[in-house]
Amino acid sequence: MTELTTLASPLDVGGVRIRNRVFLAPMSGITDEPFRRRAHAHGAGLVVSEMVASGELARGRAGCDLRIRHSGLPVHMVQLAGREAVHMGEGARIAAGEGADIIDINMGCPAKKVTGGYAGSALMRDLDHALSLIEAVVGAVSVPVTVKMRLGWDESALNAPMLARRAEQAGVRMVTVHGRTRCQFYQGKADWRAIARVKEAVSIPVVANGDVGSPQEAATILEQSGADAVMIGRAHYGAPWIAGGVATAAAGTCTQGIPQAPEALADYVVSHYEDMLSLYGIESGLRQARKHLGWYLDRHAPRACAEQRKRILTSVEPGEVTAELHRVLADSSPSISLRSAA
């Protein structure tokens, strides 16, 4: 897997040095500060904030500050979404003012609540408008600006190469491409070879995204796309160490901090849960944490009974949740629960 070894090398993005080329994808409601800290500690080269609506950020809506605040990691990257140039520019200024080292523009989210507002991947249906947003962000900040996109809106409009080329001309310093169209959502298999057309269209770094969760898949997507880096998203559900595992496999080293025994796994999950309660407060934190707890159970304790899952996912008493997590995860089988990226 000679392609894989390239992922261990640093990457320059507009003067910002990224320690390796395996990135954690921005995922709404998932890649908050506790999750990003864990992914970075395990070895991910770059971690990206969950999507922040630029209009809400510009208007000062409560909660946006948690999404953009600096986490103390070496590189702070914030992703913005929106459809109004004035809000995108102002959102970028606010994020940069909070210490963002890189601003990413979301032109790839397929969710109906995003595309219905003519943001996310809907912007790929109107490249002139998309470019007006890019120009507003690039003009508003001095930090590097990047764009995340899909192959196009549908199979009849695979315009990612054109968008990437125009974005580069407007000053964008890196593009990430998910190998599906918007209309595919997450169905079927990502087309890694199609990303090669974007790589051929630009001279800036291209990041390949979609259906990667192992070193073998990372090597294959690099070979088929010719990309400079890999971004991993959904494979992290219940396993914040996946990107780090791929990066350390590329470097020939061991992934840092993966729990190696059931008791350690229980401590790890409880620590993540408690960090979320600390960040959001008990009431909101309970809601925010449930999806993560569900993924940990799905991945590491699939034999947990329905009553145990119910107690963990519905209890409003943190002490009850942590006690039940210890009971369930400490009894899990290592052959089932301990799945690293290697």
Q: Which amino acid is at 2?
A: T
**50's tokens:** 């969950």
Give the whole-angstrom CA distance, residue 267 versus residue 255: 18
CB-based contact 177:162 (threshold 8 Å): no
Per-residue CA distances from 217 to 220, 223, 295 (Å): 5, 10, 22
Classify 296 as helix, strand or coil.
helix
CB-based contact 266:325 (threshold 8 Å): yes
The region that residue 146 occupies, defined by phi over 0 for left and psi between -120 and 50 for alpha, beta otherwise, is beta
Classify 300 as helix, strand or coil.
helix
Neighbour count for residue 323 (Cβ, 10 Å): 15
CB-based contact 215:183 (threshold 8 Å): no
The verdict on whether 254 is a catalytic residue reads no
DSSP 141: -
The region that residue 167 occupies, defined by phi over 0 for left and psi between -120 and 50 for alpha, beta otherwise, is alpha
Q: Which of 171, 215, 238 is nearest to 21 (CA)?
A: 215
Classify 133 as helix, strand or coil.
helix
Q: How far is CA 331 from the centre of its chain?
A: 31
**54's tokens:** 């630029």
Q: Which of 109, 183, 254, 305 is catalytic?
A: 109
**192's tokens:** 């890694």
Q: Which of 339, 256, 257 is nearest to 301 (CA)?
A: 339
CB neighbour burial string for 12-21, b if at least 16 within 10 angstroms, e if fewer: ebbebebbbb
Instruction: List residues with catalytic annotation.
Output: 109
